[in-house]
Amino acid sequence: MEIFSLRFLGILLLAIVILRFMARRKKKGPSIVRAKQIPIRGQKLTTPIAPDTPLDCLLDEGKIFGEDFKDKSLPELPHGENCQCELTGVIRQSHDWFNNPPEKDEKITTDLGRLERNEYRYYKYMLIAHHQDSEDADRQTYVDLAENVSVAEDFKERVANKLSVINKEISSSM
């Protein structure tokens, strides 16, 4: 067999392709191994969102307390006389906590009915801003926060109507 023959070069080229393919297969190795799953535990404070909810309850609503969170110690409950706050356990794996976003379709029940997450945030901020126990500096802060939440104009009107009715009731009872 001659070295420069077409047959020899074809066989040599085929052998190189096969060897290269086999070498790539060996390099891939096993798939990525996940790190150890660490459970993250805490307690979430929940309360009904309504105009008669105490200010401390509104401010703490939705916070998660525990060793692995910003707020380490639980608040003293009840906050006040009308406090309806509850603590529920939260346990998630570290991988799920950081890689899986919260469900976007989750609806939250309030006195206005079931609200989307953005509507709920807007309503909560407006309740805090218009709460009779809020300080003036906090009121403006929460109005600004509410303005940054994107919700439909008809929902904003619904909340404004609800708040105006509540303000009339408060001023007539004084």
Q: What angle do CA 122, 124, 126 make, to 5 degrees?
A: 70
Model confidence at 42: pLDDT above 70: yes
Model confidence at 77: pLDDT above 90: no
Indicate if 90 and 135 belong to the same structural domain.
Answer: no
Indicate if 111 and 156 belong to the same structural domain.
Answer: yes
Nearest to 166 by CA among 53, 52, 59, 83: 52
Q: Which residue range forms the structural domain that includes residue 43?
A: 36-100
Q: Flag whether 14 is in a domain.
A: no
pLDDT at 3: 66
Determine which of 1-10, 69-78, 118-127 has the lowest per-residue pLDDT on average. Answer: 1-10
Percentages of the chain per state (helix, strand, coil), in multiples of 5: 45, 15, 40
Radius of gyration of the chain (CA): 30
Other beta carbons less than 10 A from residue 66's beta carbon: 18
Model confidence at 106: pLDDT above 90: no
Q: Flag whether 20 is in a domain.
A: no
Q: Flag whether 111 is in a domain.
A: yes
Q: Tell me the two tokens of residue 141.
A: 């802060």
Indicate if 119 and 153 belong to the same structural domain.
Answer: yes
Indicate if 116 and 151 belong to the same structural domain.
Answer: yes
- Residue whose tokens read 């309850």: 57
Q: What is the mean pLDDT of the chain?
A: 83
Q: Flag whether 18 is in a domain.
A: no
Structural domains in the chain (count): 2
Indicate if 45 and 75 belong to the same structural domain.
Answer: yes
112-165 residue pLDDT tens? 888 988 999 999 999 999 888 888 888 899 999 999 999 999 999 999 888 887
pLDDT at 1: 55
Q: Flag whether 26 is in a domain.
A: no
Q: Flag whether 114 is in a domain.
A: yes
Q: Flag whether 146 is in a domain.
A: yes
Q: Flag whether 128 is in a domain.
A: yes
Q: Tell me the two tokens of residue 169.
A: 């009731």
Indicate if 92 and 122 belong to the same structural domain.
Answer: no
